[in-house]
Amino acid sequence: MTIYRSLTGDVTYFLNTLETAIDQLYNNTTNIVICGDFNINYLSDNRKKQKLNSLLNSYSLYNIIVSHEN
């Protein structure tokens, strides 16, 4: 699945829509890979990141973030 949330997009709406999509795909025999630009800062601890992680964890999903600091 690929998704995008604009910088000005409502995070709550985005997470609710993402949850609906995952819920439709989720079962114990299917692998789910989500790619995209969520426009959520993973370099610092923040509420948006916590909410996204909580949603992913509820489906036994996790994120892989690779950051390169100069």
Q: What pLDDT is recorded for position 64? A: 84
How do residues 13-61 score in pLDDT, each as one tens digit?
Answer: 999 999 999 999 998 888 999 999 999 998 888 999 999 999 999 999 9
Per-residue model confidence (pLDDT) at position 62? 87
pLDDT at 67 > cutoff 80: no
What letter does residue 28 receive in the DSSP assignment? T
Residues 6+ apart with CB under 8 A from 33: 1
Task: Identify the three-state secondary structure at position 3.
Answer: strand
**68: pLDDT strictly greater than 80:** no
- pTM here? 0.84
